[in-house]
Chains A and B, each alone.
Chain A
Amino acid sequence: MAEPLRERSAIRRLAAGIGLLGGAAALWVPGFASPYNWLDLLSSSSITALFALGLLVVLMAGELDISFTAIASVSQFLLAVALARQDIGWAGTIVVSALVGLLLGLVNGAVATWLRAPPIITTIALLNVYGGVLALISRGEMLYDFPDFFTYTAVARIGGYPLTLQTIALAVTAVVTALMLKATNLGRILRAVGGNRDAALRLGINGMTVNLLAYGYLGLVSGIAGLAHAQLLQAVTPGSLIGRELDVVAATILGGASLAGGRGGVVGTLLGVLFIALIGNILVLSGVSPYWHQAVTGAIVLAAVAPIAWRHARPALAEVA
């Protein structure tokens, strides 16, 4: 059982990094230790975290989908249109976002599996198709006329601190994803397919079904992320989410997931997102140019992946011998 071990070591390293970074920042960066900064950090990174959790499930199955930002954009646009027509309430809001996301995710799953091309190429194409169609239909106009229920920042308050919709959505998604991966047969199947697709298929597992579930789940979570993003900004600007997909991939990989499939977990993924968000937050608070963020993120991801890859680096020759 090598996976849980590797997962634990990724978690340990990330937790240590976050502890060191957070401790140093609490000492030397003014404003960092304030609970409001933490709440802000939580709200702003929750969208990325939602995407990352969905992506984790797809990576687990050994697949890749980078069109999730476009799926979220389409679903929040349709949601905004629906809300402008009719007060559909919270239940309707959630159903619309989740359904649109799920539907597009299933389309992605079917297309990517059937084409048998590398999923990065297929989903770059899908990203452009979704984003382009959305831009053509919406003409790039911003939508911001929401009914009252949608505008409250805090859904509830705990000890005076607001509990936001984004936080709740993230918590629910994290629990559901963790349960699915750890406690259900589906999670075991996903891990099996990701670990060795050929072996799993010979056991009688249907690859298309597994992929539809994985891509569909990412789509559904992306729809919810679109909803959370629209509620956070109180506006829907078509395309405002698009362009963040590679950052999400980076955070998820940092969290211990692997493109080879079969690896990763919810805790590691959340820590990966938190670590990258923390760096951005500290750079902003300490007045360093935020332009550093991207370079630092990329360097950290490579530095985190390199030792794992190195340890597993067998010369191609040794594989059979």
Chain B
Amino acid sequence: MMSLSLPDTPSRYRPLGLAATVLLAGGLIAAALAGGGGFLSSVAYQLPEFGLLVLAMALPLIAGGINLAILAIANLSAVVAALTFGAVGDSPWLAPLPLFAGLATGCLTGALIGLLIAYLRIAPIIASLGALLVYTGVGILATNGAAVTGLPAFVPAFAGQTVAGIPLIALIFLAAAILVGVLLGRTPYGRYLSAVGYNETATAYSGIDTARIHLVAYTLSGLLGAVAGLVMLARFNSARMGYADSYLLTTLLAAVLGGIDPNGGRGRLLPLLAAIVLLQVTASGLNLAGANQHFSAVAWGGLLLAKLAYDRLRS
């Protein structure tokens, strides 16, 4: 087995920095204002879909690319699952079929972007942008732009289930996060992914099939997006193209705050998890405090710029 030794950047060990500290303080103040347990449980229910989308964004970013289509993939997967539920009826025994259809949609749509990038060498922005248009268009065509409803009762019930007081969907997110963390930190693939993000040519010269690294990264990104879509399907009890489109900015923000280098290469799970939790706490706090969505857009955009400026000043 070959060993690839990557540049060890000091920022790996203090990746959150000032911005996160400010966030944490703000989030905790908001939490205190909103008052305790109810607030925390609302965070636990809202976090999984956001966190899964951040993971879906993180893998392409580490490889030096970007996936602009994660929300289209999430919504399309949810739509496919919802339509399959409509076709197979209410029987819980057939429930794996729609789930499988949704997850397969995510893998396929992600893999298609990966193919365009890996083998046709189309720039990730263009590949995922073209795919975004196609997936959104297909999803809207399939649903006439309306929400798909009429799901079996166990679907929304699933979103409310808890295990030992922890929402099941939060556990799903945690499992996905741990798997991604193992993939990044403990497998050769994780090292190759970083290596491709740092310097693809050098990685190819080390005898690594970089095209396959890209393909796997985008397929996994699609799969994670599909899981996020299915979580949204259960939480909203419906599927529609265009749900949660504002997450594009916040997923990028969480990834960058979580220490992923937007130019590719660096990324670890724990700081990413911390950023996801901090952002969701702050977002929920802002929501409870009655801040409107435009205020949030300004705050998130400003925060992203501030974090980029902070990194720039430190480098």
Contact = CB atoms under 8 A, between A and B. Distances in A.
Nearest to B252: A121
B144 interface: yes
B96 interface: no
A299 interface: yes
Interface string A131-166: 111011000000000000000000000000000000
Interface string A47-71: 0000000000000000010000000
Given A249-B129, A302-B122, A122 B141 contact: no
B166 interface: no
A201 interface: no
B95 interface: no
Given A305-B126, A317-B205, A124 B252 contact: yes
A250 B295 contact: no
Contacts of A315: 204
Contacts of B263: 116-118
A132 B301 contact: yes
A1 interface: no
Contacts of A120: 66, 125
A298 B133 contact: yes
A188 B95 CA distance: 61
The 10 closest A-B pairs by CB, nearest first: A295-B137, A298-B133, A294-B137, A132-B297, A128-B301, A316-B204, A132-B298, A298-B134, A129-B301, A135-B294
Given A294-B140, A302-B127, A306-B122, 7 more contacts: A120-B66, A127-B301, A128-B300, A299-B133, A301-B133, A317-B205, A319-B201
A203 to B, nearest CB: 24
Contact of A292 (B116, B137, B296, B308): B137
B80 to A, nearest CB: 15
Contacts of A310: 120-121
A296 B137 contact: yes
Dominant SS at the A interface? helix
A5 to B, nearest CB: 20
B287 to A, nearest CB: 15
Contact of A115 (B136, B145, B308): B308
Interface of B: 66, 68, 116, 119-123, 125-127, 129-138, 140-141, 144-145, 200-201, 203-205, 210, 248-249, 252-253, 256, 262-263, 292, 294-298, 300-302, 304-305, 308-309, 311-312
Interface in A206-250: 246-247, 249-250
18 contacts: A121-B308, A124-B301, A129-B302, A129-B305, A132-B296, A132-B301, A260-B123, A291-B144, A292-B137, A296-B137, A302-B122, A302-B131, A309-B121, A313-B119, A316-B201, A316-B204, A316-B210, A320-B201
B133 A294 contact: yes
A253 interface: yes
Nearest to B66: A120
A141 to B, nearest CB: 13
A309 B120 contact: yes
A125 B134 contact: no
A128 B248 CA distance: 11
B201 A115 contact: no
A245 to B, nearest CB: 10
Given A294-B136, A298-B130, A302-B134, A312 B121 contact: yes
Interface string A247-290: 10110010000011000000000000000000000000000010
Contacts of B203: 316
B142 to A, nearest CB: 9
Contacts of B252: 121, 124-125
Contacts of B249: 124-125, 128
A314 B131 CA distance: 23
A127 B141 CA distance: 28
A114 interface: yes
Contacts of B298: 128-129, 132-133, 136
Nearest to B298: A132
Nearest to B297: A132
A65 to B, nearest CB: 12
A305 B122 contact: yes
Contact of B116 (A126, A294, A306): A306
A115 to B, nearest CB: 5
A292 B200 contact: no
A124 to B, nearest CB: 6
Contacts of B210: 316
A112 to B, nearest CB: 10
A259 B123 contact: yes
Nearest to B264: A118
Contacts of A296: 137
B267 to A, nearest CB: 14
Interface centre among A121, A247, A249 (most CB of B within 10 A): A121
